[in-house]
Structure 1
Amino acid sequence: MMALKKVQRTSVSDQAYDILVKKITNGEWKAGEKIPSEIELAKQLGISRVSLKIALQKLNTLGVTETRVGEGTFVCDFSLKSLFSELFRSNIFGLDHNKINEFRVLIEYCAMRLAVLNPRNPAALARLNEVLASMAESVQSGDDDTYHNLHYNFHRLICEMGKNELFLQLYDSISEVMYDTLRANSEMTWNHFPRSESIQHHRELLEALEQRDLARLTKVQDDLLLDQYLRS
């Protein structure tokens, strides 16, 4: 006989939270707008102000709303950055460079795959070619800071080509970690290979995107992961 699933008890504050979130997601309360006062909301929902405060605090913590002293609570222009940026910046997860780099490679592979599956985007490919040309110039001139900035922009452009807002928000939310990881990878590569190797790798990525060649993209990213494991 199949066991019965236990009934899930939902707290009053959780129910209030769900109602408030729905009002924001359905556009009733828009970004920048002030929501009703605690007294008014508690009365409308038929709950205590204590339960309401818990629900509002959860919204504030997630960055969905912000409470301004003496003004009230306002809806924020929510993004994943408010959730992940500080967590990754402070490395509260205790992740080492290899784990972060592994995560980066896999995120970028998914974004590249989407970029290939989406309709061809000549303008974005042209921008990638321009960035790659500037990367090559910075390598030749020995301008490392410019190279690292362009390197990050190259990968973000690919993520943008994927046209998936969640991927793009995730990438932007951990931009500092992504930049630092890409920089560390380049510097490690330059300790073992000519700097031109970095340009060749990115040229292969760009050509695979232009040719919409998923097999080649997969190989390039698999080689990156393999190289990481050999070095670790």
Structure 2
Amino acid sequence: MRGVVRRYGGIVAVGGVDLVAPGGRITALIGPNGAGKSTLFDCLAGTVRPDAGRVLLGGRDVTAVAAHRRVRLGLARTFQQIAVFPTLSVADNVRVGAEQRGGRGAAERTERALGLLGLRGVADEPAGVQPTGVLRLVELARALAGEPRVLLLDEPAAGLDAAQTGRLVAVLRALAGRGMALLLVEHDAELVAELADAVYAMAQGRVVAAGPTAAVLADARVAEAWGGRP
């Protein structure tokens, strides 16, 4: 995104943000609650139209492109609040993502995503009876079933136990290794330090620091904005 601005009345939720999430790398977006991270994600995903600035996907200007069309262009996202269809099976939830991508091979893409996230054992069970950690993985599998080039992850580790977090880290690293661009919002400083190649830190709708992970996490401005965290 270049110079993206989003206002709600007199409140500037995102105030002129430049951000790049390159292929083959994991980029983290950090900051306190209310910093503008979720609004920024909405602008990237197409559910919110910026008041100014541009959003580019693979060099193509998609600022005016609807969210469902961005999915077909290779962008997928997960949500801070888990969004699944509780009465559908785990497999059918994942299949939704495969079918949104369009084209043939939805069943094969669904099966690959279930295997990647270790969900084959619960594939036929209703999503609504699964614990939070499993539902996080279901949502990620649904996004991956569309075989995106760019993946937006909003607090993907929330509710995961240690084993599930380990699987998540391994999967995300493998995806980056295949050339996918990953941008994640995360509040866990240790996970950011372990996983991210680069970090953007936001406060009050603006980027206050950006660069390699260790340098940004050590920045005094980031500690101050992020509640004193390292």
**Is TM > 0.5 for Structure 1 vs Structure 2?**
no
Larger radius of gyration: 1
Q: Considering fraction of residues, name the structure with more strand.
A: 2
| TM-score, normalisation: structure 1 | 0.26
